[in-house]
Each structure stands twice: as C-alpha cells, then as structure tokens.
Amino acid sequence: MKKTFILPTVLILAGLPLRLLAQAPLESAHQPTMTMPAAAPGDPANAAAASNRTGTPGPTPLTPVARVNGAMLTEAQLDQEMQRLFPYFSIHGGRIPPGAEPELRKRAMHDLVLHELVYQEARRRQLVVPPLQWQKRLRKIQQGFRSRQAYEEAATQQFGSVAAYEKSLRRTVLVEQLWDTEVTQKSVVTDQAVHDYYFSHKAQFLRPEAVLLQTITIAVPASATAEQKQELHKIAEQTLVKAEAAKTYDEFGTLAEQLSQDDWRVMMGDHGWVHRGTVTADVEPTLFKMKKGETSGLVEAASGYVILRVNDYQPRRQMRFSEMGASIRQRMEGERREKRAKEFEQLLRSKAHVQIL
C-alpha cells in the first residue's frame, strides 16, 4: 500500500511562537491568498470537503469565509485548520462533533486571519528568505523521505505541484521570520533581569519540608453507627499489624492495593512528595513527626482510619539561584511573549480591514 504523507500546519496560536507538527515529513502554511485548495475542483476529495464538519451538506471548498485586506480565506482552509485544532478528528470518522464546532470554528477563523495578517506585514516590509536558510530548511524536509521522488510525489499529491508546496513553505518561513523579530526576540529576558527577580522574590523559592508518602485507609462513612465504627476500628487495627510488618515500599504498596478503601490504592497508596501545608490538619501533625521508613499508628481522619508510611524526607530549604534560574527565565519570557504577541496582533488588526463573511 502506498504511504500517504499529511502536511502539518504552521500557525501562530494563543500568542505563542509558531508551532510546527514535527511528526510529518512536510510542513506547510495556510495559503489564504490562493484561490485553490490542495485538491483540484473536480477531484473526489472535494466531494467530502464540500460537506461541513458534521457531515451534512455545506459550503464548497472555494466558498469565501473571510477577506483580509482583500485577500480571500476559503472554507477549505478553515476546514483544514479546524481539523488541526481538533486532535481527535480522525477517530470521529472525519467529523467534528456538532457541539464542538461553533467554538472550534471561531478559534480557527481567528488563527487563519492572524496568520494572513503576519504574512502580509512580512511582504509589506519586503522580507526575503536568506538562500542558505532556505536550502537548510528544504534539505531537512526532503531528508524525511526515502527519495527525492517520494518527496515530489507527496508535494504534488497535497499541493498540486512541487512548486506550489515550496511556495507555501517560503510563506511559512517569512511568517516565522517576522514573528521571531517582533515577538520572540522582543521577549528575551536578560541575565540581570532573571537574577534580580530571584533575589527580590526569594520567598517564592523556599521549598517547604516534604515527605514521600504512602497510605492505607479504612473508610468510615459519616452515617456509620457507633457499633459499625467499633467494627471498622477492629478491621483497621488488624490492617495496622500487617502494615507494621511491611518493611519495604512494595510490601506496603501491595497491602494498600488489597486493603485500602480510598482512590490511592490503585497507586499502591503512593501520594508522591507531599509538602507541609498541603495535607489535612487531622493528618499533618503526625505525618511531619515521622522519620524515613517509619509507619504510623492509626490516625483518625475525616475519611476514616489512615495508616501512614514515610519513604523519604526532604527538609525545608531555600532553593538556590543556580537551581531556579532556568525556570525563572522560561516563565518570564513566556509571559513577555504572550503580552508581546497580543500587542503585535492588535497593531496588525488596527491597520487592517478584516471582513468575516
């Protein structure tokens, strides 16, 4: 069977840098200024595309859905973007559930228009793709195919010709280039800014003491009678004897799977690292007096009788700048990118004539 390669979409999403689906061997941009979808008008593929995403008769692929400074966006392009935004498109029989379509269509329209605005601005500024950058990009894509012929067949199948695909790829690179200039590069945080943030917010990086916790719970319903509580207490005491005999994580975890009556039993009672201040008040005093490898007695909690096991302990500690610098930079630059992306989009839209049809 001949393998079909699907071209992913390059698009600006939610104020973040351009995103590329790297799994596919070809990459493409939306082509709002083109008047033809990937398939030819008479191709059977257009018969399917001519119905909307719920499977009922709808507009044809060439139906205009918007104009951006006169450039037309088509139903086919909007449909393609909706498919990309909906991650489970293929397992829903090639359809988008009717309930999800209005919001998905709105998001897709926003992204299509924004992509076209960035492309038009790149053209207005007369940006060009540097030859070496272009060759490197094209070579990387072609290397994803077993041969040059396979690459050309995939491009022709999806875009009508190799030239049409490479034209769309140049468009992608131009959009990326402008986005990098206006958003990514203007969001870079200096080393000094990262340093200053850490030392002016040191309290944020004070890690509270924590324990690596496992539990076994014998549930006591709120409606339980005194007699029922007494019986459950006996069961809890019998369970405690077995828990105290468990010497390892696995032994305690096996008991939790067999005897515990809370949701953590499917995880061998393992809560992972639990920090002081995140545990209920009926458990915390006992928990943070325990030592590594120790098992508690019966702890009466709102949920019932709980047996605690501490597998490791971390003391309260001030995290060092060398440990936190990278994550601080990532967060600061992420916030700046989001803000700058919104500003850049607003600037483009303020100068544009966008008509949603």
What single letter denotes the amino acid at residue 150?
A
Is residue 32 domain-shared with residue 124, that is, in the same domain?
Answer: yes
CATH number at residue 224: 3.10.50.40
Determine, yes or no, domain membership for 332.
no
One-character DSSP codes across 272-319: EEEETTSS-TTTHHHHTTPPTT-B---EEETTEEEEEEEEEEE--EEP
Do both 164 and 214 map to the same domain?
no
Residues 81 and 169 in one domain: yes
Other CB atoms within 10 A of residue 55 CB: 13
Q: What is the pLDDT of residue 160?
A: 86
- Residue 354, both tokens: 């966008």
How many distinct structural domains can be found in the chain?
Answer: 2
User: Is residue 82 packed enough to be buried (19+ CB in 10 Å), middle (13-18) or exposed (0-12)?
Assistant: buried
Question: Looking up tokens 């459950």, which residue turns up?
Answer: 232
Instruction: Look at residue 134 in the predicted model and tell me its pLDDT.
Output: 94
Which parts of the chain sit beneath pLDDT 50?
1-25, 28-54, 56
Residue 177 sits in the same domain as residue 274:
no
Q: Is residue 202 part of a domain?
A: no
* pLDDT in the model for residue 80: 79
- pLDDT value for 82: 85
pLDDT at 259: 94
Q: In this structure, is residue 62 part of a structural domain?
A: yes
Parallel, antiparallel, or unpaired: how do β-strands 28-29 and 317-318 relate?
A: unpaired
Residue 135 maps to which CATH number? 1.10.4030.10
Q: Which structural domain, as residue segments, surrounds residue 293?
A: 209-315
Please report the pLDDT score of residue 36 as a whole number. Answer: 22
Enter the tokens of residue 217: 């719970």
Is 194 among the domain residues?
A: no
Q: For residues 295 and 350, state if they share a domain.
A: no
The answer to whether 338 and 16 are in contact (CB under 8 A) is yes
138-149 pLDDT tens trace: 999 999 999 999
| Same domain membership, residue 311 and residue 183 | no
* Of 11, 335, 42, nearest in space to 176 by CA: 11
In a domain, 167, yes or no: yes
Query: What pLDDT is attached to residue 59?
Result: 63
Q: What is the pLDDT of residues 302-321, one digit of tens each?
A: 889 999 999 999 999 999 99
pTM to 2 decimal places: 0.66
Sign of dihedral through CA atoms 168, 89, 157, 148?
positive
